[in-house]
């Protein structure tokens, strides 16, 4: 990033209506003394050329007039040389120190930030942020979300501070972010808050111009989307695979084998310059030789040959394309240039493009496996309602294969690749109207169009479909070094998080929680609220469940008196009828008692979701327990989730009974509570909205 000069910053902020301390610039000690005239006292002199002025001894406070300013300026120049220039002379202000600023990333958007100011800003690191644009209610909420906001209202006799003035400053920053998209980082630190009615004032500012983003091909905006349906990629009836050699381990041959082996319901044609036949079927020398016009062209040839295939596909007017080949933007500028050229060919022809460097797309219901995923070596695909969209082909394959192994069916499984044309938001928009999809998981490395992603997420929510997001790449990584406290506090990961929050996505902390949340969401539906009934075979598990519920804001309503009496009647005297309910060995010794307890306690007017947490029960008792739980679940009008922490080898018949009943089983209680927290959060987002477009 490139820093703005001090005069540019002061002029820009003044025009934006941001209250700044009167600052005068000087090149030497004499100019500094002249600048001090008429400012009053006390005064401060700063070394304007330093990034962290206080740390480097570049601030001199408490000066009583021009002579003192001259002396201090001379000392700064003597110690720091040209790094001190320009010298900044200000009236010294006092007040409670806060930080305010903004941070922007190309394609993602901008956030306004507020936090503790002063020299300890990055150590305390308590900043909170909100996506631009802000209205007054959002700015007020941003201040309330600050961990120390109560101190601003006055504490132990101290007067309340001017929070309304701070809100006004945040609104001005939001407006500035919209007016000046060239501002990448703006840092006001400190912002001094006076008592209520006396305003706020920023006494130091640093601003940096945004890095010029790498040129991208034009994206499909809403005006073009109607002509760029994703049906050819996600619902093709005729696929041509280009690059099907005789080598069975090569990409094209694998894709062709997966399509044929999984019984793709449509037509598949192989293309390779060698021509001839493959597995007794014709292999065409060129794409133009294929009879008819394919809905989808799956391209798996060396990068240097992709351009020619793209031109041929465009001339034919194919429906869509997936470029599996690598060797594009992920390899450097030459590859990026080739990627832009190839993407432009498809876009000019109005043909949607997935990739390049895409593992591919899988639709289990139709056997459509235009993908390189090693997970397709497993026998059989399981169709269902979970859609998976991933920036990472390898990790997406892991999650997809584990979900299907757990009995969770997939509707669509997409690897984004380099997103030269179609990005995650495009697929989410399509999935919002897909009748096969009931829940969506996304593994996200980057965002290309934050506004569109927000609209897509809200469209999913309006369709009643939860969106679970794992926001990858948490570190600053290769991003250019920040120029401000704000930039250091708000990296790319947090900006993506702000966009996902606005999109009503439920962010999950790990891949495991993503997988588990999708398992629960596909099993018995989402909870209608946050009231949990938990029954466990262990007091320790009950403690973990209670702790997890408290951390996630999940309620554990007690049993009403009649239910307490009835539960007490079927359990030993030493079992307290409380929620979570520790049934201890009764679950193992008398599985039928668990069914009675569930029938007594499950009450949709009092609970929104139920959990049965088992430990090391073994067959044949484990099988009986599984059948009891399955029957209770079938009778229940609220979702009932199951976890079992004992070794599977102790209860093969029990685990088979759960599988036969379509009940996925998690294991440890802490794992279950992490997943339960995610689905309760997602259900809340669907209930509360808002779902309107931004």
**Cα separation, 506 vs 272, whole angstroms:** 44
Considering only CA atoms, which of 632, 540, 536, 616 is closest in space to residue 579?
536
Reported as a single tens digit per residue, the pLDDT across 359-397 is 999 999 999 999 999 999 988 899 999 999 999 999 999
Contact between 241 and 255 under an 8 Å Cβ cutoff? The reply is yes
* E-only strand ranges, 265-335: 267-271, 277-278, 281-284, 296-299, 320-323
**Cα separation, 54 vs 57, whole angstroms:** 5
- pLDDT confidence of residue 218: 39
- pLDDT confidence of residue 214: 43
CATH class of 22-91: alpha beta
**Cα separation, 384 vs 365, whole angstroms:** 8
CA dihedral 516, 522, 528, 533 (to 10 degrees): -60
Average pLDDT over residues 207-224: 53
- pLDDT confidence of residue 475: 56
- pLDDT confidence of residue 474: 59
Say yes or no to pLDDT of 588 above 80. no
Crossing angle of helices 66-80 and 29-36, in 10° steps, is 150
Q: What is the pLDDT confidence band of residue 194, given thresholds at 50, 70 and 90?
A: very high
Say yes or no to pLDDT of 16 above 90. yes
Task: Using the CB atoms, write b or e for 451-479: b if 16+ within 10 Å.
Answer: bbbbbbbbbbbbbebbbbbbbbbeeeeee
In this structure, of 243-257, 258-272, 464-478, the range with the lowest mean pLDDT score is 464-478
Reported as a single tens digit per residue, the pLDDT across 463-494 is 999 999 999 865 554 344 444 544 455 557 78
Reported as a single tens digit per residue, the pLDDT across 576-585 is 899 999 988 7
Say yes or no to pLDDT of 559 above 90. yes
DSSP secondary structure code for residue 153 in this structure: T
Q: What is the 3-state secondary structure (H, E, C) of 73-108?
A: HHHHHHHHHHHHCCEEEEECCCCEEEEEEEEEECCC
**Taking all residues of the chain, what is their mean pLDDT, rounded to a whole number?**
90
**Cα separation, 532 vs 313, whole angstroms:** 55
Q: What are phi and psi of 359, to 5 degrees?
A: -65, -35
Contact between 601 and 632 under an 8 Å Cβ cutoff? The reply is no
* E-only strand ranges, 285-421: 296-299, 320-323, 353-354, 360-363, 368-371, 383-390, 410-415
In this structure, of 91-105, 234-248, 541-555, the range with the lowest mean pLDDT score is 91-105
Contact between 606 and 636 under an 8 Å Cβ cutoff? The reply is no
- pLDDT confidence of residue 8: 81
Two structure tokens written together for 569: 């009647």
Q: Taking the model in full, what pTM does it have?
A: 0.86
Beta-strand pair 43-47/59-63: antiparallel
Average pLDDT over residues 639-655: 95
Q: Give domain 98-209's CATH architecture.
A: 2-Layer Sandwich (3.30)
- pLDDT confidence of residue 14: 87
Average pLDDT over residues 413-434: 96
Length of the chain: 694
Q: What percentage of the chain has pLDDT greater than the value 90?
A: 74
- pLDDT confidence of residue 491: 58
Reported as a single tens digit per residue, the pLDDT across 600-645 is 888 889 999 999 999 999 999 999 999 999 999 999 999 999 999 9
Omega cis (within 30) before 23: no
Confirm whether 98-209 and 532-684 share one CATH topology.
Answer: no
**SS3 category, 670:** helix
Two structure tokens written together for 679: 């689905």
- pLDDT confidence of residue 573: 81
Contact between 75 and 60 under an 8 Å Cβ cutoff? The reply is yes
Q: What percentage of the chain has pLDDT greater than the value 70?
A: 93
Kindly report the CATH number that applies to the domain delimited by 532-684: 3.40.50.261
Domain ranges of the chain: 22-91, 98-209, 239-357, 382-522, 532-684
Q: H-helix or E-strand containing 264?
A: none
Q: Kindly tell me the burial class for residue 340, based on how many C-beta atoms sit within 10 Å of its own C-beta (0-12, 13-18, 19 or more).
A: middle
Considering only CA atoms, which of 577, 530, 526, 520 is closest in space to residue 550?
530
Q: What is the pLDDT confidence band of residue 691, given thresholds at 50, 70 and 90?
A: low
Kindly report the CATH number that applies to the domain delimited by 382-522: 3.40.50.261
Reported as a single tens digit per residue, the pLDDT across 296-310 is 999 999 999 999 999
Contact between 18 and 86 under an 8 Å Cβ cutoff? The reply is no
Top-confidence residue, 125 or 59: 59
- pLDDT confidence of residue 489: 52
Say yes or no to pLDDT of 692 above 50. no
Say yes or no to pLDDT of 317 above 90. yes
Q: What is the pLDDT confidence band of residue 221, given thresholds at 50, 70 and 90?
A: very low
Average pLDDT over residues 215-225: 40
- pLDDT confidence of residue 690: 64
**Cα separation, 471 vs 511, whole angstroms:** 10
Average pLDDT over residues 444-453: 90
Query: CATH homologous superfamily of domain 239-357?
Result: NAD(P)-binding Rossmann-like Domain (3.40.50.720)
Contacts of 92 (CB under 8 A, 6+ apart): 41, 42, 43, 44, 61, 62, 63
Say yes or no to pLDDT of 274 above 60. yes
Q: What is the pLDDT confidence band of residue 220, given thresholds at 50, 70 and 90?
A: very low
- pLDDT confidence of residue 591: 86
- pLDDT confidence of residue 483: 43
Reported as a single tens digit per residue, the pLDDT across 88-106 is 999 999 999 999 999 988 8
Say yes or no to pLDDT of 688 above 60. yes
Considering only CA atoms, which of 283, 95, 318, 319 is closest in space to residue 191?
95
- pLDDT confidence of residue 88: 92
């Amino acid at each position: 990033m490139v820093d703005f000069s001090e005069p540019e910053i002061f002029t820009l902020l003044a025009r934006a209506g941001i209250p700044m301390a009167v600052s005068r610039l000087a090149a030497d000690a004499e100019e500094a003394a002249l600048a001090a005239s008429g400012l009053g006292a006390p005064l401060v002199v700063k070394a304007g050329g330093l990034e962290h002025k206080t740390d480097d001894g570049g601030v001199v406070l408490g000066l009583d007039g021009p002579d003192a300013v001259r002396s201090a300026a001379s000392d700064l120049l003597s110690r720091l040389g040209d790094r001190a220039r320009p010298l900044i002379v200000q009236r010294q202000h006092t007040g409670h120190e806060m930080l305010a600023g903004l941070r922007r990333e190309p394609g993602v958007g901008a956030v306004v930030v507020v936090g503790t100011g002063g020299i300890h800003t990055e150590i305390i690191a308590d900043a909170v942020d909100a996506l631009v644009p802000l209205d007054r209610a959002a700015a007020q909420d941003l201040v309330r979300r600050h961990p120390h906001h109560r101190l601003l209202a006055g504490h132990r006799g101290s007067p309340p501070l001017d929070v309304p003035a701070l809100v006004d400053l945040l609104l001005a920053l939001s407006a500035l972010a919209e007016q000046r998209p060239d501002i990448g980082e703006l840092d006001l630190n400190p912002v001094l808050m006076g008592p209520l009615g006396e305003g706020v004032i920023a006494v130091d500012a640093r601003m940096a111009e945004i890095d010029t983003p790498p040129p991208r091909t034009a994206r499909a905006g809403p005006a073009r989307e109607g002509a760029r349906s994703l049906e050819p990629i996600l619902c093709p009836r005729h696929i041509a695979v280009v690059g099907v050699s005789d080598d069975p381990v090569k990409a094209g041959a694998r894709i062709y084998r997966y399509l044929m082996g999984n019984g793709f319901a449509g037509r598949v044609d192989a293309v390779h310059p060698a021509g001839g036949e493959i597995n007794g079927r014709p292999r065409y020398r060129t794409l133009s030789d294929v009879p008819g016009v394919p809905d989808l062209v799956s391209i798996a040839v060396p990068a240097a040959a992709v351009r020619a295939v793209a031109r041929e596909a465009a001339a034919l007017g194919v429906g869509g394309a997936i470029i599996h080949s690598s060797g594009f933007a992920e390899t450097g500028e030459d590859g990026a240039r080739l990627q832009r050229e190839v993407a432009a060919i498809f876009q000019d022809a109005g043909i949607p493009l997935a990739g390049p460097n895409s593992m591919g797309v899988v639709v289990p219901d139709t056997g459509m496996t235009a993908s390189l995923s090693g997970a397709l070596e497993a026998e059989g695909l399981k169709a269902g309602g979970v859609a998976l969209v991933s920036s990472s082909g390898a990790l997406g394959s892991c999650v997809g294969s584990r979900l299907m192994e757990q009995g969770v069916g997939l509707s669509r499984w997409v690897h984004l690749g380099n997103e030269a044309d179609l990005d995650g938001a495009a697929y989410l928009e399509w999935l919002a109207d897909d009748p096969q999809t009931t829940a969506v998981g996304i593994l996200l490395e980057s965002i290309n169009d934050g506004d569109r992603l927000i609209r897509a997420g809200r469209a999913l929510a309006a369709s009643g479909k939860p969106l679970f997001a794992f926001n990858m790449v948490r570190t600053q990584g290769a991003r250019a070094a920040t120029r401000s406290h704000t930039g250091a506090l708000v990296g790319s990961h947090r900006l993506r998080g702000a966009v996902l929050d606005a999109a009503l996505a439920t962010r999950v902390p790990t891949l495991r929680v993503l997988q588990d949340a999708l398992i629960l969401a596909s099993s018995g539906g989402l909870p209608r609220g946050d009231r949990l009934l938990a029954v466990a075979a262990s007091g320790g598990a009950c403690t973990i469940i209670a702790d997890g519920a408290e951390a996630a804001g999940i309620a554990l309503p007690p049993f009403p008196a009649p239910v307490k009496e009835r539960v007490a009647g079927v359990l030993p005297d030493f079992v307290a009828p409380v929620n979570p309910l520790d049934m201890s060995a009764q679950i193992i010794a008398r599985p039928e008692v668990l069914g009675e307890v569930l029938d007594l306690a499950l009450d949709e007017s009092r609970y929104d979701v139920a959990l049965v947490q088992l430990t090391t029960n073994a067959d044949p008792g484990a099988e009986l327990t599984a059948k009891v739980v399955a029957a209770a679940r079938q009778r229940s009008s609220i979702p009932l989730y199951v976890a079992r922490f004992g070794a599977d080898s102790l209860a093969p018949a029990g685990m088979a009974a759960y599988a036969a009943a379509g009940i996925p089983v998690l294991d440890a209680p802490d794992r279950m509570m992490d997943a339960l927290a995610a689905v309760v959060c997602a259900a809340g987002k669907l209930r509360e909205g808002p779902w309107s477009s931004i």
